[in-house]
Amino acid sequence: MPIMECPPEAGRKRNATQTLTFRGIRYTLSKDPILKVIIMAIIKVTEKGQVTLPIGLRRKLGIRKDDYLAVETEGECLRLRKVPPVKPLAPDDPIWALIGKGSSGKKDVSRRHDDYLAEGERKRWRRS
């Protein structure tokens, strides 16, 4: 099966390409006028659909254990993008002052949140 390459973005031309193998992984190095050098590794998909990202690429992109990657499709190509971690709220964040300040008097808001939102929307639609 031929190796499919994602088409370059409009107006960008790719130049010289060089292929090398390191520790059993085939890499393609392409010179790009904007990105300078693009590293592409050929990796194998397991029976479970898993892949191993080469350590060099993980280090270059700062991908560590338990990081999340967003997977997007573009034609016949997959694009992986590192998802930045969500920082927990600091103890002095102003949002904490709002917790418990609602005046609904309902005790099950955390469990039935979506139901109450939908009910409010229905009432709003009826008024309009």
* All structural domains of the chain with their residue ranges: 94-127
Q: What is the DSSP letter of 94?
A: G
Residue 10: pLDDT above 50? no
Spatial distance between the Cα atoms of 52 and 122, rounded to a whole number of angstroms: 48
Structure tokens at 80: 């992986």
Question: Quick one: pLDDT at residue 14?
Answer: 47
DSSP SS3 for 12:
coil
Residue 2: pLDDT above 50? no
What confidence category does residue 1 fall into, taking pLDDT thresholds of 50, 70 and 90? very low
